[in-house]
């Protein structure tokens, strides 16, 4: 593991952030999931846990690469800021699966 990655993996982040992320992943179909059996419910619970861990891994990889870039370019302030960013962030991920593209959204 690279030094940058080890700092990110040892960085403390609040358990409540993981809980909120898992809730966001589990809120499929705008909270209208209905399970017919207990097995279905258990399967969705395990799937949401896997998706949550995937998001955290994805974010940690991005942060690790960005931290390495900041350090390599000599940006000590940027590197210090990167060590404070949590890999639990989810604002950049659309969990609802609904995307809206409107003409002119980018100034076209």
Radius of gyration (C-alpha) of the chain in whole angstroms: 18
pLDDT score, position 61: 93
Q: Along the 108 residues of the chain, how does pLDDT read in single tens digits?
A: 555 555 555 444 455 777 788 777 777 666 666 778 889 888 888 888 888 888 889 989 999 999 999 999 999 999 998 888 888 888 777 777 766 777 665 554
The whole-angstrom distance between residue 61's C-alpha and the CA centroid of its chain comes to 10
d(CA 69, CA 59): 15
pLDDT score, position 71: 93
pTM, rounded to two decimals:
0.64
Residues in contact with 90: Cβ distance below 8 Å, sequence separation at least 6, in sequence order: 20, 21, 24, 55
Q: What are the helix (H) ranges across 1-108?
A: 3-10, 15-26, 38-72, 76-82
Q: Where are the domains of the chain?
A: 14-30+37-82
pLDDT score, position 25: 73
């Amino acid at each position: 593991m690279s030094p940058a990655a080890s700092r990110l993996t040892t960085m403390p982040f609040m358990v409540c952030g993981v809980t909120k992320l898992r809730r966001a992943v589990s809120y499929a179909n705008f909270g209208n999931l209905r399970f017919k059996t207990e097995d279905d419910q258990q399967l969705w619970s395990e799937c949401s846990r896997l998706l949550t861990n995937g998001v955290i891994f994805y974010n940690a990889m991005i942060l690790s690469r960005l931290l390495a870039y900041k350090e390599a370019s000599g940006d000590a302030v940027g590197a210090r800021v990167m060590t404070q960013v949590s890999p639990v962030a989810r604002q950049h991920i659309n969990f609802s699966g609904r995307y809206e593209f409107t003409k002119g959204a980018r100034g076209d």
